[in-house]
Structure 1
Amino acid sequence: MSARGRIDAWVERVTGFVTERPRVVIVGFLLITAVFAGGMGQVSMGSSDQTESFTEGIPEQEALDSINEEFQGPFEADTPSTQLIHESENVLSQSSMLEMLRLLERIDQREELYVASTAGPAPAVAQALDPTATTPEQQQRAIRRASETEFRKTVSALAERPGFSRSLSDDFNAREGTASAAITVVTHSPPDQGDHTEEIQTTIQSLAGDGDATVYVLGDGIVQSEMNNVINDSLAIVMPLVVVLILGFLAVAYRDPIDMLLGLIALAMTIVWTFGFVGFAGIPFDMTMITVPVLLLAVGVDFGIHIINRYREETVIGREKIPSMRVALSQLLVAFVIVAITTLFGFAANISSDLEPIRRMGFVAGIGILFTFFIFGIFLPAAKIESDRFRDRYNVPEFDNTPVSSGDSVLGRVLAVPARITNRAPAAVVVAVLLVTAGTAVYGAGVDNTFETEDFLPPEEQPDVVENLPGDLAPSEYTMTATYNFVEDNFETATGEEVILYVEGPFEQAHALDSLVAPNDDPPEPFAVGEHGRAESESIVTVIQSYAEENPEFAALVARNDLDDDGIPDRNLVQIYDELDRSPYGDRASEYLTEDRRGAKVSYSVDAEASQGEIEAAGRTFADDFQYEATATGNTIVFGAVSDIVFESSIQSLALAIGLSGVFLIVVYWLLEGRPMLGVINTFPIIVAVVGLLATMRALGMALNAVTATILSIALGVGIAYSVHVIHRYVDEVGDGTGTQEALLTTLTGTGGALTGSMATTSLGTGALAFAISPVLGDFGFLMAISVFYSFATSIIVLPPTVQAYAQWDGYPK
């Protein structure tokens, strides 16, 4: 038996089972659904730190982690900690410090907050006034008892300590003793059992809101709580909106409440199966996973509309219902298999990514597509047969059982226009499309690629349409973006973007410190932000110089050991380090030199206008200029590396999806029709659509980021279904002896109507992601809607002349 014969025999067996034993099919699928429903309750949230899940395993991130372990900064702690950012007219006034200490007292009184210590300007001033004041209550008493003169002298004395000034905002005026904001760090010592951070910090956030002071609360627990809310709120807003939009368009496409109900049941089963599997498999649900149900609904809607529409095409000409479903299934099952596999290639191509969240999303979406095929290809036809029997048994009327479009309808005539126009010179049209696509590809190749923390954060202020949603749909209150922005704007030393060079060498040897500043004279362009194009850096050298400016004895020690009179000691470095460690600058020195003095950190300011890619490349080049082994890292470098991986993954996934889909389609049409060229023709329109999508992204200033990087292969996976349905219907029509032009017109007026309904529903359904709390999901939904429209348009406009040109060249059909 030939390959075509074996495929036909398989289709006939499946079709016969579904149409002859629909109740068995329905019961079996409902039982499987009940099993998967148990897994949905086991779905767990992924890491609250979305950026961490993308940077894990990146060499630059591992270097940064090592630095964070070896160098302890003023805003870091080994134990769980909460940052309290106090804002007032002057946080260094007695009244403001008493406000902060009253909050610290309320926090200290709550045993469940496990307060171990507090560090900040208010406790520091109080303990300088009274060294025995160890509790917030005692510290308040110390500040109240101090005279104004005594208080001011204490603040002025502490202002000379780097650790004190670095906990104050950038507008800190040491002479006047004023600052508009301060950071106080509360460390906790919870029991080892369980993670109490989220509960601790949300409680502190509540306490801070009850007081008179303006205090922002920041910590891992707050981030975890709010990122979970971002996912839950996004699902709560997007999914009902998707359902409403789908209901509206299914009502137009089906025009029958029972058929529409069947489609919704099938869609719901798809979600239950997929996320039941996620729960059983222990796959964490993170932000990228929000796109999966929307994508599955998009593909499911396409399958559902096609099966019902094709069934109606047969019943409307007078064929009985069971034979009509046999015809519809025998024609569509192969198309559904082709669509499912090519869509699987598009989605699962993301498994090749080097980024774990994208791999997980691709895997889950691929599994979901398989489930979608079985539910819509097997369950829905069986359910349709039983629903029609129910109608006949109880005389339930059909509201409208006509297909979406036909040759006589307005929509059908519009869809046939491209095929009528291009029939005169199809080859010329194809050449023109190729030229335009090539130019568009060159332009689209310049699309930007980024990876930023802001991609994952909810906006500081929600749009009015989201903010005013009723009841349970109203989003949670989000504070972390406003807090991050406030800290970034006011505390440069805490969150400022920087590039860090980790240098390994024997820093107790003579002249070792010169090696840390020598490259600064001729740095790469993004680092040339100082006078005369030099680099601006902070290192153990600048700490030594700062202390020398304040302490004459230390300055004399440095001068005695500065052989070349450049302000940098060249010998007796052990003695200099020891003196520095015993000074008020000791804590700051530990930020730049390891305890064994074999590792040094150098922080560089970079050009704010430089891109991530430019900074990353310059950082690696700069590291090569150091005498000792140096590694460039820091958030900018790490995010730049991830950005590169994001771009590489998107192109790699797209190439893999095109390659697999193209080879598969070529083999399928070679086996089915003996014409592998039909597989190439099938792939051509979706390549045009993806190229157009890239160009649109560049034109709109949108970048490939952690989520939108998946759009290219996913757009191919979703969009290729349109050209598959057109080609498959065309092949069936010419197989009945119809000429190419007539077969195309029949295809476009019949299948084209189902494609139109599917496009409208899918575009608006995926576009509903624009209302997600996270902006990056909104961008994904917007781009997905555009890609679906492009895929539809190219299947209607680009595919007909390509088929016509092939038919003229090859003489197909004969």
Structure 2
Amino acid sequence: MLRKTSKIIVRYRAAFVLIAIFLLILSGYGITQLKFESDLSKQLPEDLQAVKDYETLQNEFQSGDVAIIIVKVKSIEKGGVYDIRDPAVIQSIYELEQRLKQHEYVTNTMSIADIYIQALGRLPKNDGEVKFVLNMLPEEAKQGLISSDYRTTILIASLTREKSSQALMRVYDEIQKDIDNVNFPQNVEAVQTGTVGITYKILALLQSDLNITMGIAFFVVGILLLYFYRSPIKALIPLIPLILGVTMTLGFMGLLGIPLDMATTTVGAMLIGMGIDYGVHVTNRYYEERRKGKSIEEAAEEAIAETGKALLGAALTTIAGFAALSLSILPSLQRLSITLIMGLGLAALNAVVITPAVIILEEDLMKKIKGHYEVPEIRSYSGFIAKGFYKLGKTVRDHPMQFLGVALLISLITAYGVTQVTTEVRLEKMIPEGIPEIEVMKDVRYEFGGQDEVDVIITAEDVRDPSVVRAIHRFEKQIIADSYYNNVFESNSIADIVINKYGYIPDDKEKIKEALEEYQGQGMVNDDYSMTIVQFKGNFMGVRQEQFREIMRYFEEEVQNADLPAGVEARVAGESYLNYVLDSLTNSELGRISMYGTLFVILIVLLLFRKPALSLSMITPMLLGAFWTVGYMGLAGIPFSQTLAGIISMIVGLGVDYGMHLTHRFLEEMGEGNPHPIITAVQGVGPGILVGALTTAGGFLALLAGELTPIHDLGKTLAVGIFASMLAAFIVTPALLQLKYGKQIGGGGDEE
């Protein structure tokens, strides 16, 4: 079947190239339609209760984004301001507030300037007035506005929730323009952060990381190919179909409406790393057949027919590993699954269909230039590389048990690392240290108690009922009493509104209604008074991952055990809680999709080869490669994130390829009567595996050029996974084949 197909591909290669060009043009349009996505709620299933509650906050209580602006004394240069209490600083903050209030999406602002307007009816004119008003404030109120060293203060702008990434970036740019247009005194700077600032930075880094990592991936892969093929033109041969495949994938993502998020942004560099492997194997087999004296058409047909079998199996197993991601309930992993399957399918198809056409075109051009066909000599099949693989094949054949012992030793070393792996999904932790938006959040947390928010939604027949308001008050005070444990800094509820008006909670429902109607702040009840919220602010996201989980579990337990009247319900909600839910789902999904991915790959291998003992030679290195990689993650302190949740399934799908290529070549040589099939298989396929692994890892390591932490981690982990899988294949697959077929083919001796 493949041999007939190979003849068709070679004969009608020009037609296939024209089809590829048409798809390339279509993909160009699709790329212009690509969108970026950073909304946390879009990474979770829509029918999840936490997501529904999050939407309730947006729709019923106009809970939106928060822009936090830190105003601080950044230096002590002569002639400038040294104290944030300087009247000129307060004047600048007030001016910034007025600018912000002109935007339709700003619902409320709060700063130290508001205190002076309320107390004096105007801004302070001198240092005496500044200190007089501050000294009247309760200590906890002062701590929430100004740092203990009087060098930092905070301005908070509450915003309506922006649904699209483009709108959020516009909001950030407009607020930044307002900041830039305010003339702050010398030595003073204002830095934007909060959910808007952090999300903006993530979106900006997603876009830059996509372009940078793809560019570097192509460069690294190109340099490696140039070294092995010794010619810029020949190095382009496996690159051209890869470029087509990556471009088509990104184009189809735009046409299908698949956004680029924390997971799918890596797809460009990943496809470059993985897809080059297919073109390399086809190209290497073609050159091997040419060295045997076959014509260009015969060599192309043989490369497609023989390599195509292994490539088909490799593509199917890799796709099977990635298909497991589609079973996840996390939308980001589902999108990544679709993208990678589509990308790998296109990469494999282009490698088989376009590569022969490019090779033959290059040979024909060289003939016109030089007057004759020239049998190519590539570096991977000569010199120390060829000798090294010959010795490796011979040594594995003669000492299979020792090689299996090496694999066992590596497994024992990495076993400890497996026990140390954890998870981290908080978006704030995705940005590396040193970014201004993250650095100033440290000031927010350690100087002002934190501005992270956890909301508790209370539902009742009528939340204005005095018994409900009293229950809310009890619950709120109980949480505040545990602030040493839960990091809560302040709270807000309808109970506070009522107490602020009357000094107590009256039994008269009408009085409670009157207090709520007079309240001018953020809406705390919905239109039909069936829901209200209790807001808790503090440092929840800046703590260690385990402490973050403990705080969120604390809120869940307190809500579950809250002393509420009959018929009244409470649920934890908000963005901080969504991060916790995502963390829990990532942990559970990690094991599930890894198990399914492994089972899918094993099933594909068994169906293709139908011999359990033979399949073991491919499956074992795959499992070892994945195990060693997870061990490395634990030892290196790399956590599983939403980006890395499918890493095991990916490595399993990729890692089986190397063992499959070795096993397929071994069977081919043994079927032709080769007395030393182990040596020939390692010597013949080994260089292609090495080139493929180096270029694949090179593509993955290009992700290190990105700034987002999980993209860094993904690049390192996938590169280690590729090398681990390659190493496992070289030392385990030939050893297992030798133990299985050693008596049949001869267990040792020199090659004749």
Task: Please report the TM-score for the alignment, with normalisation by the length of structure 1.
Answer: 0.78
* Pairwise CA distance, 1:54: 2.1
The reply to whether residue 601 of structure 1 matches residue 554 of structure 2 is no
Percent same amino acid at aligned positions?
Answer: 17
Report if the CA contact (8 A) 1:729-1:751 is conserved: yes
The runs of 5 or more residues in structure 2 that have no matched partner are 74-81, 748-752
In 2, the alpha carbon distance for the partners of 1:779 and 1:63 equals 32
* 1:679-722: CA deviation from partner (whole Å, max 9, x where unpaired): 33212111110011111111111110011222211122222221
* Pairwise CA distance, 1:199: 4.8
AA partner of residue 342 (structure 2): I
Q: Secondary structure at the match of 1:601?
A: strand
Report if the CA contact (8 A) 1:667-1:679 is conserved: no
* 1:718-759: CA deviation from partner (whole Å, max 9, x where unpaired): 2222112111111111111224xx111101111101111111
| Aligned equivalent of 2:507 | 572
Structure label with greater radius of gyration: 1
RMSD: 4.3
* Pairwise CA distance, 1:799: 0.9
1:206 corresponds, among 180, 187, 209, to 180
* 1:160-191: CA deviation from partner (whole Å, max 9, x where unpaired): 599x758613539xxxxx6730315387999x
The reply to whether residue 630 of structure 1 matches residue 619 of structure 2 is no
| Aligned equivalent of 2:123 | 143
| Aligned equivalent of 2:451 | 494
The reply to whether residue 87 of structure 1 matches residue 72 of structure 2 is yes
Q: Secondary structure at the match of 2:571?
A: strand
| Aligned equivalent of 1:767 | 701
* Pairwise CA distance, 1:611: 3.9
Report if the CA contact (8 A) 2:238-2:276 is conserved: yes
Report if the CA contact (8 A) 2:93-2:113 is conserved: yes
| Aligned equivalent of 2:346 | 371
The reply to whether residue 310 of structure 1 matches residue 285 of structure 2 is yes
- The 1:182/1:393 distance shift into structure 2, 3 A limit, reads closer
AA partner of residue 361 (structure 2): E
Report if the CA contact (8 A) 1:581-1:589 is conserved: no
AA partner of residue 26 (structure 1): V
In 2, the alpha carbon distance for the partners of 1:738 and 1:798 equals 21
* Pairwise CA distance, 1:346: 1.9
The reply to whether residue 391 of structure 1 matches residue 366 of structure 2 is yes
The reply to whether residue 98 of structure 1 matches residue 91 of structure 2 is yes
AA partner of residue 534 (structure 2): K
Matches within 5 A, 1:408-427: 409-423=383-397, 426=400
In 2, the alpha carbon distance for the partners of 1:40 and 1:509 equals 58
AA partner of residue 601 (structure 1): V
AA partner of residue 781 (structure 1): G
* Pairwise CA distance, 1:392: 1.4
- The 1:640/1:400 distance shift into structure 2, 3 A limit, reads farther
Matches within 5 A, 1:455-474: 455-461=429-435
- The 1:514/1:800 distance shift into structure 2, 3 A limit, reads same
Of stretches 393-402 and 280-289 in structure 1, the one that deviates more from structure 2 is: 393-402
| Aligned equivalent of 2:594 | 654
In 2, the alpha carbon distance for the partners of 1:252 and 1:289 equals 31
The reply to whether residue 246 of structure 1 matches residue 228 of structure 2 is no
Report if the CA contact (8 A) 2:172-2:200 is conserved: yes
1:53 corresponds, among 33, 42, 67, to 42
In 1, the alpha carbon distance for the partners of 2:22 and 2:644 equals 36
1:688 corresponds, among 597, 608, 624, to 624
In 2, the alpha carbon distance for the partners of 1:319 and 1:279 equals 43
- The 1:691/1:519 distance shift into structure 2, 3 A limit, reads farther
In 1, the alpha carbon distance for the partners of 2:23 and 2:444 equals 51
The runs of 5 or more residues in structure 1 that have no matched partner are 1-9, 131-141, 173-177, 462-478, 559-568
In 2, the alpha carbon distance for the partners of 1:737 and 1:389 equals 35
Report if the CA contact (8 A) 1:499-1:636 is conserved: yes
Q: Secondary structure at the match of 1:703?
A: coil
Report if the CA contact (8 A) 1:455-1:774 is conserved: no
| Aligned equivalent of 1:23 | 14
Report if the CA contact (8 A) 2:286-2:300 is conserved: yes
Q: Secondary structure at the match of 2:741?
A: helix
* Pairwise CA distance, 1:615: 4.3
In 2, the alpha carbon distance for the partners of 1:351 and 1:244 equals 31
AA partner of residue 20 (structure 2): F
Report if the CA contact (8 A) 2:66-2:158 is conserved: yes
- The 1:61/1:19 distance shift into structure 2, 3 A limit, reads closer
Of stretches 785-794 and 10-19 in structure 1, the one that deviates more from structure 2 is: 10-19
Report if the CA contact (8 A) 2:264-2:336 is conserved: yes
The reply to whether residue 785 of structure 1 matches residue 719 of structure 2 is yes
Report if the CA contact (8 A) 2:702-2:715 is conserved: yes
The reply to whether residue 169 of structure 1 matches residue 102 of structure 2 is no
- Number of residues of Structure 1 aligned to a counterpart in Structure 2: 724
| Aligned equivalent of 2:424 | 450
* Pairwise CA distance, 1:48: 4.0
2:52 corresponds, among 62, 67, 85, to 62
Report if the CA contact (8 A) 2:72-2:84 is conserved: yes
Matches within 5 A, 1:612-631: 612-628=548-564, 629-631=569-571
Report if the CA contact (8 A) 2:242-2:276 is conserved: yes
Matches within 5 A, 1:405-804: 405-406=380-381, 409-423=383-397, 426=400, 430=404, 433=407, 437=411, 440=414, 444-461=418-435, 479-495=436-452, 501-504=456-459, 508=465, 510=467, 513=470, 517=474, 554=503, 572=507, 574=509, 596=529, 599=532, 601=534, 603=536, 610-628=546-564, 629-670=569-610, 675-739=611-675, 742-804=676-738
In 1, the alpha carbon distance for the partners of 2:534 and 2:333 equals 33
Task: Please report the TM-score for the alignment, with normalisation by the length of structure 2.
Answer: 0.83
* 1:125-172: CA deviation from partner (whole Å, max 9, x where unpaired): 236534xxxxxxxxxxx437x576666555555x3599x758613539
In 1, the alpha carbon distance for the partners of 2:419 and 2:60 equals 41
